[in-house]
Structure 1
Amino acid sequence: MELKDGVYESRDEIQQLLRQVLLLCAEQGGRELCWMDSDFTDWPLSDGPLLEALHGWALPHRRLRLLAADYEPLRRAHPRFVQWRQLHDHVIAAKAFDRAEAVERSQPSPIGVVLAPGLLVFKRWTPTRASLSLRNAREEATTLEWFDAIEQRSNDSFAGSTLGL
């Protein structure tokens, strides 16, 4: 499947698209990646080639900003990603958001987002509907503004390690 601007309307096509988008971001993404989902369980975060690409991407000057309503399903579904997260704690900022606050009252809000400034914006609207915009500065700016607003109202979560007393 070739990545191209447009709307995708099949669960299988969206899963394949998401895998390609994440790989492209890890291989060509810049200094910052922004990911948002309610729990990331249906993302391909246990995929070996993706984790290897993310490992190469995770240099000290890079930042992966994660937003989820709940990280516990991610911990159960993707233990390999959790290990990767622990190894690359220095590049990850993870926060938990309130689902009610993530919904824009004035317009439809996506249920999942991948934003790689200068590269692409992937938005999942429903489990069977998603859109992709490649190198669209206006779409990136509005998505980043929306993402930042949710992140500002969110709390730190999904720590790289658990400290005991």
Structure 2
Amino acid sequence: MPTLHQGPFVGPTAFTGIIRNALVQADHAGWSEMVWSDASFEDWPLYEKAVVEALNDWARKGRKLTLLAHHFDAMHRIHHRFVAWRIRWDHLLECRVCKGVDASEFPSALWTPTWAMRRLDPVRCTGVASVEPRMRLLLREELEERKRQSSPGFAASTLGL
């Protein structure tokens, strides 16, 4: 079982590894809630079979996943497995679009009740992960503010006439 990364990280390989490990840990750690935030989620490993399997393990009654994004364009284009998972588990997800912040300034983060990761520079893919309560609290407050400024997005299905 991989452990949760703590401390700084550098590079896209480290970033995607941290995401993978966190999602594998989600069920084992008993996280009832996760908040994911990214301008587009384009470089998250949500297309991977192992990631979706980890989400299946995590998903059950009482769990909640909130996604905050500037736009969700990459989801249908890149993350087909996650899109299918999202349809099945729609009742666990809240997906929000926040256009009030420039995409280049949008927070890239994964928050949980006991651990959090934030990319401080998404272009260079550098950031930090921690269990430290103050870091998690400040991140949660920022994400809640983004959520307040957002509207629903990335529907599970598109109804047509």
Category of TM-score, reference length = shorter chain = 0.7 to 0.9
TM-aligned CA distance change 1:26 to 1:149, over 3 Å: same
Is the partner of 1:122 in helix, strand or coil? strand
Structure 1 contact 27–53 (Cα < 8 Å) conserved: no
1:133 to 130, 137, 141: 130
Letter in 2 for 1:141: L
Q: Distance in 2 between matches of 1:43 and 1:57?
A: 18
The two structures have a TM-score, normalised by structure 2, of: 0.88
Amino acid at match of 1:152: R
Give distance in 1, aligned partners of 2:50 and 2:76: 19
For residues 76 and 48 of structure 1, the distance between their equivalents in structure 2, rounded to whole angstroms, comes to: 16
Shift of 1:101: 6.5
Q: Are 2:75 and 1:74 equivalent residues in the alignment?
A: yes
- Which runs of structure 2 are paired with 1:12-91 in the superposition (5 Å)? 12-91=13-92
Query: Offset at 1:54?
Result: 0.8
TM-score (norm 1): 0.86
The gaps in structure 1 that reach 5 residues or longer are: 104-108
For 2:101, what is the secondary structure of its paired residue?
A: helix
Asked whether 1:148 is paired with 2:144, we answer yes
Instruction: For 2:66 and 2:8, locate their aligned partners in 1 and report how far apart those are by CA, in whole Å.
Output: 25
Please identify runs of 4+ aligned residues in structure 1 that moved more than 4 A.
none
Whether the 8 Å CA contact 1:66–1:92 is kept in 2: the answer is yes
Task: Please tell me whether residue 122 in structure 1 is matched to residue 117 in structure 2.
Answer: yes
**Residues 34 and 65 in structure 2, CA contact (< 8 A), matched pair in contact too:** yes
| 1:53-92: CA deviation from partner (whole Å, max 9, x where unpaired) | 2112111211100001111112110011000000000000
Distance of 1:9 and 1:75 partners within structure 2:
28
- Supply the RMSD in Å over aligned alpha carbons: 2.1
Q: Alpha carbons of 1:27 and 1:43: their partners in 2 closer, same or farther (altered >3 Å)?
A: farther
CA–CA distance in structure 2, aligned partners of residues 89 and 32 of structure 1: 14
Instruction: Provide, for residues 121-151 of structure 1, a one-character-per-residue CA deviation record: whole Å limited to 9, x for no partner.
Output: 10012232110002x2222111111100000
How big is the shift at 1:40?
Answer: 0.6
**Deviation of the 1:99 alpha carbon:** 5.4
Select between 1-10 and 44-53 the one with higher mean Cα deviation: 1-10
Q: Contact between 1:30 and 1:117, CA under 8 Å: does it hold in 2?
A: yes
